[in-house]
Amino acid sequence: MILILGLGLFVGLVMGLTGAGGGIIALPLLVFLLNISIVDATPIALLAVACSASLGAIIGLHHQTVRYKAAVLMAIAGSLVSPLGVLVAHKIDNHYLLAMFALILIFVAYKTVKSQNSEIDTSLQDTLPCALNPQTGRFIWTSRCSISIMVSGAVAGFLSGLLGVGGGFVIVPALQRFTTLSIHAVIGTSLAVIALISTSVVVSSIYHLDMDWNMAIQFACGSMAGIVIGKALLTKIEVNILKYGFAVLTILVALMMLTKLFNY
């Protein structure tokens, strides 16, 4: 019980600090440390991610850092596609899922470090798909912005169903790529999307298989406590440190997954 709560606490902490990473860390921890299959770990990881992301989104709404229209649009697209990911996951051998997960983790680490030194030229801000109204700080909605948001949500939803992740590692880079939102707004919006998509995937996953509710509830409780701590620490840690730390963490988790794969 202590181990499960501790793992959940760590997952929630990472989510609170980065707006992403909860799902991609939760699933490997469950598979590697608790020795359960990736398919059985999927609904447990997603329940914890859904609960903690919901709590984080509520905190973000209170502080007005959530762009709720973008979050809802992304979540709708993701929720429509996520059942397809769940279906595909049950058709693919566990070895291939583990290998795919490890490769995605390495890619996420690379993109995280690469974005470290990439700043948006102020002269190019108007060319981004989703520009912000300088008076209100809200999106100026165009067809280009809507399509960019929906495609990002669909990709996040498919990967959520396929690999049991919240999709934050897609949502956060997408919002940073397509918008000029502050890091706090990006994290708040990402958590809102993760909460909505993860909930829909949990429902889809439960339909396909039984869940270990005892483990799931303990893991979720730990993650909710962790996200509260993470949100509190967010303003005290430099963004660059968070990026490098997250990149290192994802590489370590990828190595864990590859070790698990080779030991099958």
Please give the residue that has the higher pLDDT: either 216 or 89.
216
Q: Does residue 259 surpass a pLDDT of 70?
A: yes
Cβ neighbours, 10 Å, residue 8: 32
Per the CB < 8 A criterion, the answer to whether 103 and 162 are in contact is no
Q: Does residue 258 surpass a pLDDT of 70?
A: yes
Predicted local confidence at residue 138, as pLDDT: 78
Q: Among 193, 151, 150, which Cα is nearest to 61's?
A: 193
Q: Among 219, 249, 86, which Cα is nearest to 161's?
A: 86
Number of domains in the chain: 1
Q: Does residue 117 surpass a pLDDT of 50?
A: no
pTM: 0.76
Indicate the burial class of 21 (C-beta count within 10 angstroms; 0-12, 13-18, 19 or more). Answer: buried
Q: Does residue 53 surpass a pLDDT of 80?
A: yes
SS3 103: helix
Mean pLDDT of the chain: 80
Per the CB < 8 A criterion, the answer to whether 51 and 224 are in contact is yes
CA distances from 50 to 91, 120, 172, 212 (A): 24, 31, 16, 16
Structural domain boundaries, residue 59: 2-117+124-262
Mean pLDDT, range 138-145, rounded to an integer: 86
Q: Among 36, 8, 42, which Cα is nearest to 22's?
A: 8
